[in-house]
Amino acid sequence: MIDHLTIKVKDVGKEAAFYAAALAPLGYAKGVEFPGAVQFVSEDGSSVWVSQADGDVTPAHVAFTGDEAAIKAFHEAGLAAGGTDNGAPGPRPNYGPTYYAAFVHDPEGNNIEACTH
């Protein structure tokens, strides 16, 4: 089980607004905030940090879990908050017989997924 992870970004303010909107349907809420870093905490206590990068950023792929309704809401919220579509909500049988997911690129190109399987 992962306790926390960090997604490095160039513009923490812009990205924090995106993550606040996109992760809310998946049960995450804004936690503590420091200069250059914002925490989002899930209902189970795990957390995601959005943190200022010191240099170039290599886009990451991070997947969160949720039920189908939360996955659809994540996708809608992510797009409304400035993300770009990287895969509408739906079955992904090539990933597994019960895999259901949606993908959104955050404003800086990180591939953020919500899935269930």
The pLDDT value recorded for residue 77 is 98
Cα–Cα distance measured from residue 39 to residue 66, given in angstroms and rounded to the nearest whole number:
19
- Determine if the pTM surpasses 0.75: yes
**Residue 57 has what pLDDT?**
87
State which residues of the chain have pLDDT below 70: 1
Residue 104 zone, left/alpha/beta (φ > 0; ψ -120 to 50; rest):
beta
Q: Which residues contact 6 (CB under 8 A, 6 or more apart)?
A: 48, 49, 50, 51
CATH number (domain holding residue 102): 3.10.180.10
- Non-local CB neighbours of 38 within 8 Å, separated by 6+ positions: 12, 16, 19, 30, 31, 32, 49, 50, 51
For residue 67, the enclosing domain spans 4-52+59-116
Q: What is the pLDDT of residue 1?
A: 67
Which pLDDT score is estimated for 2? 80
* pLDDT (0 to 100) of residue 99: 98
Tell me the pLDDT tens digit for each residue of 10-22.
Answer: 999 999 999 999 9
Based on the structure, what is the number of domains in the chain? 1
Identify the three-state secondary structure at position 12.
helix
